[in-house]
Amino acid sequence: MSSPDAGPAKADKPVKPVKAPRAARRPRPSFAIGSVKVRPGHASEVGLPITKLVTGSEVSLPVRVIHGRHDGPVVWVNAAIHGDEVVGVEVIRRVLATLTPRTFRGTLLAVPIVNVHGFMAGDRYLPDRRDLNRSFPGSQRGSLAARIAHLMMREVVDKCEVGIDLHTGSDRRTNLPQIRADLDDPRTRSLAEAFGAPVMVHAKVRDGSLRAAAVESGATVLLFESGEAMRFDQWAIEAGVDGVLRVLAALDMIDTDEAVDASPPVGLVSRRSGWLRAGRTGIVHLDATLGQRAELGDRLGGLSDSFGRTLRLVKADRAGVVIGRTTAPLVNRGDALVHIAEIEGAEPPGTPDHPDAADGFDALDEISVL
Ligand SMILES: [Zn+2]
């Protein structure tokens, strides 16, 4: 790199070479993971051994390491802890395609498929029906889930200061792009805002989850929910790609102009949400769309019998924004239909012209028409 001021035009007396800063003189150390060491300015893939199949083939946890030439934070991004949640796998593929190790600052550990067995089978769980995201921090001698959790903690999470865990809705439910995180922690909140999802939900950690174990070990963690299991919805993927790149930019790991729209609208904040449940068994027709605003009592759809006779209307049980909904055609009494998040700072019912609320909801218009 050359500076325009350093040219020979000014050289009537010999120019003393500028002493390079210390960091530049001493190259960054290599990054060690599993059996490999990744040199600065390089990317490498490693398979961390999990177990063997009955055929004798190795099953390993695939990790791609982008070890930037320059110093910076160590961050992980993972997907498919639930094996059927494929949106995040595609998010990571697209994020990796934009990164260049030579210009990258810091280190990114990308783990696109944590639940390898579940992903291969198109299943949320491991073969013994365990939920990997209830098995953290795991142990070396426990169940298969516990062993994978332990490997993920030791080789990935424990080396990182920030992590992003990508999920989708499950069981025929689809989610509005949203961050779930501890919004009372200032660093977590600022990264959640940088991600720029339409909604940020303050969520307590769940025992046994990756997020709980990672926070316990000192990492700052964002959980991203977007879309539905076993589907590649473009809007769900794009919200994830943009968000991850904006977090990397906020951490100064990539230049701002590499990230799309570095300053998205600030997401709405929710600290309370609930699923509206089916009042009886029936065929469900939902008018509610993701990102839509609802007032208490608003009609969001109906339940009918097999001849189309309406059995029950589906009405909002609270005011808020629709952040999830079922995609199932038939529901049983008690099944979850519509997830409504109450919005912090939103106006109480009856004052629809509150200016702050109007600004916030504008940001959701794009999502609601998808
Ligand atoms: Zn999940």
Q: Ligand 1 mean position to 82 CA, how many Å?
A: 5
Claim to verify: residue 234 and residue 87 sit in the same structural domain: yes
Claim to verify: residue 144 and residue 92 sit in the same structural domain: yes
* Number of domains observed in the structure of the chain: 2
Q: Ligand 1 mean position to 95 CA, how many Å?
A: 20
Residue numbers of the domain that contains 312: 273-368
- Is residue 230 assigned to a domain? yes
String of DSSP letters for 270-332: EEEEEEEE-SSSEEEEE---TT-EE-TT-EEEEEE-TT--EEEEEE-SSSEEEEEEE--SEE-
Residues 230 and 83: their CA atoms lie apart, in Å, by 9
Claim to verify: residue 62 and residue 151 sit in the same structural domain: yes
What pLDDT is stored for residue 25 in this prediction? 56
Q: Ligand 1 mean position to 241 CA, how many Å?
A: 17
pLDDT in tens, 87-114: 999 999 999 999 999 999 999 999 999 9
Claim to verify: residue 250 and residue 283 sit in the same structural domain: no
Of 229, 258, 287, the residue that ends a domain is: 258
What pLDDT is stored for residue 149 in this prediction? 98
Claim to verify: residue 243 and residue 283 sit in the same structural domain: no
- The helix/strand count (H/E) of the chain reads as 9, 18
Pairing type for strands 162-169 and 220-228 reads: parallel
- Is residue 2 assigned to a domain? no
What pLDDT is stored for residue 360 in this prediction? 31
Q: Nearest Cα to 45, choosing from 68, 61, 62, 28? A: 62
Neighbours of ion ligand 1 (CB under 5 A): 82, 85, 167
Of 234, 258, 282, the residue that ends a domain is: 258
Claim to verify: residue 43 and residue 118 sit in the same structural domain: yes
Q: Ligand 1 mean position to 170 CA, how many Å?
A: 7
**CB 291 within 8 Å of CB 338:** no
Q: Ligand 1 mean position to 297 CA, how many Å?
A: 30
Q: Ligand 1 mean position to 167 CA, how many Å?
A: 4
- Is residue 140 assigned to a domain? yes
- Is residue 223 assigned to a domain? yes
Claim to verify: residue 116 and residue 230 sit in the same structural domain: yes
- Is residue 46 assigned to a domain? yes
Claim to verify: residue 285 and residue 222 sit in the same structural domain: no
pLDDT in tens, 249-277: 999 999 987 667 767 778 899 999 999 99
What pLDDT is stored for residue 259 in this prediction? 63
Bridge partners of 179, per DSSP, are 200, 224
- CA 183 → CA 191, 199, 221, 222, 247, distances in Å? 10, 12, 11, 10, 15
Claim to verify: residue 233 and residue 327 sit in the same structural domain: no
Claim to verify: residue 337 and residue 309 sit in the same structural domain: yes
What pLDDT is stored for residue 264 in this prediction? 77
What pLDDT is stored for residue 258 in this prediction? 65
- Is residue 247 assigned to a domain? yes
Q: Ligand 1 mean position to 314 CA, how many Å?
A: 26
**Blockwise average pLDDT, block size 10, the chain, 370 residues:** 40 50 71 97 98 95 98 98 98 97 97 98 96 98 97 98 98 97 97 97 94 98 98 97 96 83 82 96 97 97 96 96 98 97 74 35 31
CATH number at residue 331: 2.40.50.100
Indicate yes or no: pTM above 0.75: yes
- Is residue 51 assigned to a domain? yes
- CA 172 → CA 10, 260, 308, 331, distances in Å? 69, 30, 22, 11
Length, in residues, of the chain: 370
Q: Ligand 1 mean position to 269 CA, how many Å?
A: 21
Q: Ligand 1 mean position to 7 CA, how many Å?
A: 56
Claim to verify: residue 234 and residue 326 sit in the same structural domain: no
Claim to verify: residue 243 and residue 315 sit in the same structural domain: no
Chain centroid to CA 159: 19
CATH number at residue 148: 3.40.630.10
- Is residue 28 assigned to a domain? no
